[in-house]
Structure 1
Amino acid sequence: MNARIAAVAALVAVLSGCATTPAPSTAVVDVGTGLEFRVQLATTPDQQRDGLSGRDELSEGTGMLFTFDGPAERQVWMAGMKISLDVAWILDGQVIATETLEPCTTETQHECPRWTSPGDADTLLEVPAGALDGIEPGTTVTTRKDTP
């Protein structure tokens, strides 16, 4: 009987090693008429909580797009972040504000500063620091399916 349990456990271990985590969903975000970012989509509470934390770098032209269930005041924090980010607070496809957020390497959220949207937002775009320089409120933001 113990041999049978050991064999089943070994099979489960092998099969679980074959399971793959699905790749994050991606999209292309156009900001204004000249900026394009290939982004990961953060649509679940876990994805939105973790965001881009733990990354050593964020390549030019990439980022993360947080989509929410509706407009509301939003907060972000930089717990576990090693790099600075630009964020665009977005409502109904238009930028309402941009900010540069500084990293907070501690993993504990309550030990890091929080940034609050300047009004209701339904989307948040995070990209490498400096990428949104010159983007003004009212700039149009569109999202389209990523076709790698």
Structure 2
Amino acid sequence: MRRRHLLAATTIVAALTGLEGCRTPSEAASQLDKVQVCIQSQNGIQPVTAELAVNDSQRRKGLMGRESLAPDHGMLFVYQEPRPPEATFWMYHTFIPLDIAYISEAGDIRAIRRMLPCTADDPDRCPQYPAGVRYTMALEMPQGYFRSNGIREGHRVDVLETPNARCPDPAA
């Protein structure tokens, strides 16, 4: 199972990095590919639509400059290699309060952190948020999303690779 999640993340990165060359620079900057993320929580399966940040430029920009984010939408940062516990995220020019879930190679949420907006002109004046755990993906969501949906450390995350795929209906 662990290999499946790492393979899925690696496949997503490889495929989307290749597609990046097919876009004009303005298209690449204005739109990101999206995937369906299914989070298995104590309240059932929570579907999330996530924009993908798979290369350095996309990860650096993140959700900078956004003034709103739908309640069930977020950004999924995908790495080809596991990131160390001291790797950090920041909120430079990010105006939306966010929570971030750090996700292991096996697809388990290892840590959740609360992040506050930083509008400082100097990025060095923005707080940094270390994971404190090794991770291969990080999911940013509007602040309070994880708590209000009963999502906590140890819960599972599946990324659906098929276009227009939907999380399974637990009632079916």
**Interval containing the TM-score (normalised by the shorter chain):** 0.7 to 0.9
Uncovered stretches (5+) of structure 1, i.e. residues with no partner: 1-17
Cα RMSD for the two superposed structures = 1.9
Equivalent-residue separation in structure 2 for 1:99 and 1:114 (angstroms): 11
In the alignment, what sits opposite 1:53? 64
Does residue 102 of structure 1 match 2:116? yes
Aligned positions of 1:1-148 closer than 5 A:
21-22=27-28, 23-32=31-40, 33-73=44-84, 74-92=87-105, 93-133=107-147, 134-145=150-161, 146-147=163-164
CA positional deviation for 1:19:
8.6
Equivalent-residue separation in structure 1 for 2:121 and 2:33 (angstroms): 25
CA positional deviation for 1:136:
2.0
**2:45 is matched by which residue type in structure 1?**
G
Uncovered stretches (5+) of structure 2, i.e. residues with no partner: 1-23, 166-172
CA positional deviation for 1:108:
3.1
**2:92 is matched by which residue type in structure 1?**
A
SS across alignment from 1:21: helix
Call closer, same or farther: CA 1:114–1:21 in 2, change over 3 Å. same
State the identity as a percent: 28
CA deviations on 1:6-65 (whole Å, 9 max, x unpaired) are xxxxxxxxxxxx996143111011111321110110001010001001111111110100
Aligned residues: 131
CA positional deviation for 1:107:
4.4
Give me the TM-score of the superposition, normalised by structure 1: 0.81
Call closer, same or farther: CA 1:21–1:101 in 2, change over 3 Å. same
Equivalent-residue separation in structure 1 for 2:97 and 2:46 (angstroms): 19
Contact 1:86 1:127 in 2 (8 A): yes
SS across alignment from 1:132: helix
Equivalent-residue separation in structure 1 for 2:158 and 2:50 (angstroms): 12
Call closer, same or farther: CA 1:137–1:19 in 2, change over 3 Å. closer
Equivalent-residue separation in structure 2 for 1:42 and 1:63 (angstroms): 11
The structure with the largest strand share of the pair is: 1
The structure with the largest helix share of the pair is: 2
